[in-house]
Amino acid sequence: MARRDFSFYYRLLTFIIILTVPLISGLFYLSVIDVSNDYKEKYAFLQENTEENIINAVKTVDQGLAIYDMGLDEEMKRSFAIFLGAYNESGGSPGDMDLESLKEELGERYDLYIIDGKNVIAYTTNEIDLGLDFSNSGSFTEFLDQTRNGDSFVGDRISKGVRDIENIRKYAYYPTPDHKYILELSYAIKKEDARFLLRYGNTVDQLRPLNPYLESIDLYEVLGNLIGDSSETEPEMKALVKEEVIGKKSDYVIRDDEAGTATVIRYVDLSRPESGADMSLAIAFIYDEKMLNDEINSVVLFQLGIYAIFVALFFTLLIVLTKTFTKPIRDIVEDVDAIAGGDYDHEIRSSGVREFSQLEESISNMVEKIVGALDEKTVLLHELHHRVKNNLQIISGIIQLQSGSVGDTAAKEALLMCENRIRAIASVHESLYRADDISSVNSKEHFTSLAFNIIQSLCDYEDCRVNLELDIENHRLPIDLVIPLSLVINEILSNSVKYAFAGRESGTIGIRFRLRDGRILLDVWDDGIGLPEDYEKHRQGSLGLTIVKRLIRDQLKGTMTVNTERGTWYSFDIPGDI
């Protein structure tokens, strides 16, 4: 397989590209990473600030709510005096107490509860809570036990009930003197009350727009119910909030890659040691991470566009500069190629660069010496071809004189054939002697002249009339190819003139010479009687055909076929990329 050479221009350009592309690509990659990290850092910073601000705002709201809640304690203490008096009058028997009458006395907003020693609501005016069991309520169970064993009023926070989650109430507790029960009062808060003016949701709604990535905020109370609309609480989310966030008092993150969102659930500890109700919250921050990724991708695409423009400009400038820097070398190569192609008068162009100017001067001096040597060689070769041609003509003349003194017809024919072969070789040297190019001859001019000379020589001897049909393409043939082809044509024409037209006054001989796909195609034919039946025997004993076979197959490495359907047609296929 031939090696493929690349010019200095392409080698230099490739080297610079190999050197710079990884560097530029690396810088672009680092720039993309830096932009991505910068956006993510800003996103994380904004997320942290948003969450902390909202948590602090919720705690502030809770402090305000706690102040409001504790403001109802004095009123409820007065109500407990009536409740406790009724218990004492019953002799410590809750079953003998008329709770409904006490409710009417205290007012419609009140509901009364009596919690037994097992922390179960045994008696109440609020039927929905009857039988409610707090024996396994964790910290609230401990709170009830401490309250039962105490001896003073305990005010609690306003919150939703365990079963009644539609309304909020203010709760308060008082232990019975015998420490067997806990008296509990709840005070219903109406929507028109001032407490509804201070809500978590209002504060959150005001802060949420400060973070563009924040889609929504949901608040959950300790039982996992969504604050504001419990009907929207999904069972899975309710359980997750209650068990993973409130139960473990820790944060939780849910990522939905398909939707491109991240839900960060933060635990907010709002519990108070003096309060039985745990007012802690779980705040779910739903972030649109797809927006963040889209922004990053948008910036990356913008940078990619800038990068593409920069690379295009860079390589355009690189190509221009590389061509400029390598132009002196390319000029010298083109000039040397022109000189190598035979244009010895071609001048080496000046580049104006000192080093190249020295090279150009050296090449010019070398060319002058080469031209001088070639001129001497050309003169010598012309003289050599001239002398070879003259010597061959002398030999041919001697053979011709000798044949005139020979009486035997066979010997005379043999001398004539030998003379024609010598003339065929001499014609090549004559063409080379007369041509400017001493290494090759013109195929059309040479073969045309050769054919006419052979026919003329043979017909002078054989007394024949032959028409020549020539279809010869014009190519330059080297001497080592044209000599054997001339001998082949000579032998076949000689055979045709001698044998093809027996019994006829005239005939036609044709020569066709072509070059196709690197192969020489030579056809020599006549319209004579064809080959005799004993052609193989005749061929083996014929010196002319033996010469043809050896020249074609052994020297030229070609093939020969003979067709005798109409006359005789010799076809030769010879490799020869000229």
Taking only the tens of pLDDT, the chain with its 578 residues reads: 445 566 777 777 788 888 888 888 888 888 889 988 998 999 899 989 999 999 998 888 888 888 888 889 999 999 999 999 999 999 999 999 999 999 999 999 999 999 999 999 999 999 999 999 999 988 889 999 999 999 999 988 888 888 887 788 999 999 999 999 999 999 998 888 777 776 777 888 888 888 999 999 998 888 888 887 655 678 888 889 989 999 899 999 999 999 899 999 999 998 887 777 888 899 999 999 899 899 889 988 998 888 889 888 988 888 888 877 777 777 777 777 887 777 777 777 776 667 667 776 777 777 777 665 555 455 544 444 444 545 555 565 565 555 555 656 666 556 666 666 666 565 555 555 555 566 678 889 888 988 888 888 777 656 678 889 999 999 988 878 888 888 888 888 888 888 888 777 788 999 999 999 889 999 999 998 877 665 555 554 467 788 888 888 988 899 999 988 888 999 999 997 65
* CA dihedral sign of residues 533, 535, 541, 543: positive
Tokens 């745990």 sit on residue: 278
Q: Residue 34 is inside which H or E element, if any?
A: helix 8-70
Task: Give 312: exposed, middle or buried? Use CB within 10 Å, 0-12, 13-18, 19+.
Answer: exposed
User: Is 567 in contact with 504 (CB distance < 8 Å)?
Assistant: no
Give the pTM.
0.54
User: What b-and-e string marks burial along 219-241, b requiring 16 or more CB atoms within 10 Å of the CB?
Assistant: bbbbbbbbbeebeebeeebbebb
416 burial (CB, 10 Å; 0-12 / 13-18 / 19+) is: buried
Distance (Å, rounded) from C-alpha 64 to C-alpha 199? 10
Q: Is 486:492 a contact under the CB 8 Å cutoff?
A: no
Token pair 């401990």: residue: 142
